[in-house]
Amino acid sequence: MTYLVFEIAIFLSLFSVALLLTLGRRAKTFLACFIVGWIFLYDYINYHLNLKMGFEVISTKLFLEILIIVASLLVVCRGRLRVSDINSICLSLFVVTFVFMVGISNEYSLRMIYVDFRSILLPVLACVILSTARFFERINVRVVIGFSLFVLMANGGLSVWDYMNFDGEYKAYWRYQSLLASKSELYKDYNESQLVYQMVRDENLRSSGFIVSALTASYLYAFAAVSLLWLLLTFKKVSFMGSLFAFLILLAFIYVTQVRSGFVMVFFGFLMILLYKVVVSDLIKKLYLFIVPGIAFLVMLVYLLHGSGAGIDSSSLGRLDQYQIFITEFVLLGQGLGSFPGMFDSLLVYVFLEAGVVAFLIFYIIFKHLNHGEGRRPSKYSDLIYLQISVFLFLATFQHVAGSAYYFLFIFFLTLIGRSTAFVVSGGRQYGANA
């Protein structure tokens, strides 16, 4: 009974926060900051409230669903929709319905179907509905970005502290118990010894602060580092020494996660920035979005097939198996939600096996519809979006980012930059209070 009362209280609190969507600019800015903070602290809060699994966390898990419901009601009440919004909603509903029905027809459990829905489609659907409700258009972007950097730096500071004070007892960290609970809930025969590699590498803690996964933490640090690097090399008025210092701090944060992929993201992002500095044509830049990550993936694949060299270990070689599985298991229309819940080290393998060719529509919604506001966005902001998309695509070839804080925040900020009036040009002039 106590848990039921507590759950109802949490549900009503989150619903009240979601109602901020219906209010003015300041309320929406606060809600955006709340969403970012919630994504960062979700696992940490659940663990320390002793809400580790099952019914005890149902209300906290439902926050995005609550947000979607409130935003949908707001859209229905307003009644007027832009053509681009109608297209986004129709495409999203088609994708969700299609992969859901395929999963049902293959008799996968509803629980596993819901797990995959939350991992792959929920962040996309949430941002589609929020953008349709005009949530992103009048947000104070500087406040949201500033708050996000503050949370990221605080998380990094805690990560460094944990890394420096690690005494070898990794089971004593909250992350271990949280990961074990979630893995055991998803896979009944989960081997606890598999968690060791997620916690420790070369006898050093893979530190991640408030975030349950060191991998996710490194992606977020790299996401910020690449954006900061782009800022440094694009705007002359930016404080060079201050930005460089912040960039080096972010690299230090990546280091304490003991995740190589974070550094790979930064290096790849740097190469893409140099490439975009040379290329002027917007069409060529869009082509490079897909061509360059594809070439980089092929180079990495050849390197792994060679079987020896710096950075190649069992974890790296294990990724070759998933590509073989993809070739043998791929079905044109996909195997549906629930077919491979949480499996594979590659987001692309995971999504295309479950959704088949329909997966192209998922990425089309993310890359095209969500980041396209009314008017013409300035080319300098287009470069930032192209840059982050290319880094995301390259990472998705060898890392499973679905369901992570990075996956959601990547889509969220892509939509924020694309839809906010602070980044939109109308009639040749930029407008917005925080432009």
Three-state DSSP at 190 gives coil
State if pTM tops 0.75: yes
Tokens 């580092």 label which residue?
A: 225
Provide φ and ψ at 200, rounded to 5°.
-135, 145
Q: List Cβ neighbours of 290 (8 Å cut-off, separation of 6 or more).
A: 390, 393
Domain count along the chain? 1
Task: Determine the pLDDT at residue 365.
Answer: 87
- 371 assigned to some structural domain: yes
Burial 364-400 (b: 16+ CB within 10 A, else e): ebbbebbbbbebebeeebbbbbbbbbbbbbbbbbbbb
DSSP notation for 22-91: GS-HHHHHHHHHHHHHHHHHHHHHHHHTT--SGGGGHHHHTHHHHHHHHHHHHHHHH----HHHHHHHHH
In whole angstroms, give the CA distance from residue 355 to residue 293: 21
Query: Strands (DSSP E) along 109-212, which ranges?
Result: 200-201, 204-205
Query: Strands (DSSP E) along 101-254, which ranges?
Result: 200-201, 204-205
| Pair 221, 257: CB distance under 8 Å | yes
- Secondary structure letter of residue 376 according to DSSP: B
Q: What is the pLDDT of residues 192-246, one digit of tens each?
A: 666 777 788 878 888 888 888 889 999 999 999 999 998 888 776 667 788 888 9
Amino acid, single-letter form, for residue 345? D
Task: Determine the pLDDT at residue 152.
Answer: 94
What secondary structure, in 3-state letters, does 203-217 show? Answer: CEECCCCCCCCHHHH
| Pair 357, 94: CB distance under 8 Å | no
Task: Determine the pLDDT at residue 392.
Answer: 94
Amino acid, single-letter form, for residue 282? D
- 87 assigned to some structural domain: yes
Domain that holds residue 86: 2-430
What's the burial of 241, exposed, middle or buried (CB within 10 Å: 0-12/13-18/19+)?
A: exposed
Task: Determine the pLDDT at residue 222.
Answer: 95
- 435 assigned to some structural domain: no
- 195 assigned to some structural domain: yes
Task: Determine the pLDDT at residue 307.
Answer: 58
- 247 assigned to some structural domain: yes
- Ranges of the chain with pLDDT below 70: 1-23, 48-60, 79-80, 182-194, 236-238, 306-318, 369-380, 420-435
